Amino acid sequence: MIKYFQNIQSNDAGFSLLEVLITLSILGLSLTVLLPQFPRALAQINVKMEQAGALNIARSQLADFVLLQAPESLPATGQSGHFEWIVSAQELDDPRPDFGSLWRYEIQVKDQDDEDDRRVVSLSQIIWLDT
């Protein structure tokens, strides 16, 4: 029986050296096209994480000021991490003065490390305040 298996010749002996070299060269060429995209993608991820952090600070601070502070005490400024923020309030023309006063709260959050103020997050909210 051992003689039987030794006499069988197969054409599927594996990949030739030429096939492996061609495959590696195709893979290398495709990686050289894709590799320059990775630093750009990582930079975009960092920018989006910074924007998300600024947006979270803006939402939190705006909610605090709307719920806890009288609009007359504004504008107010502060700092959280490497972000600085300013909250302002403006009384709007009220079409229904019998319901109270209409106020527009606005917050701007910017990165202190950004010299040209390209990354600024702004939120505003309009609310009725009982008088």
Average pLDDT in the 4-13 region? Answer: 58
Average pLDDT in the 7-27 region? Answer: 80
pTM confidence score: 0.64
pLDDT surpassing 80 at residue 21: yes
% of the chain exceeding 90 in pLDDT: 20
* Cα separation, 53 vs 117, whole angstroms: 16
Q: Residue 61: which of 92, 29, 84 has the closest Cα?
A: 84
Residue 83 exposed, middle or buried by CB count within 10 Å (0-12, 13-18, 19+): buried
67: confidence class by pLDDT, cuts 50, 70, 90: confident
Compute the C-alpha angle 16/17/21, nearest 5°: 120
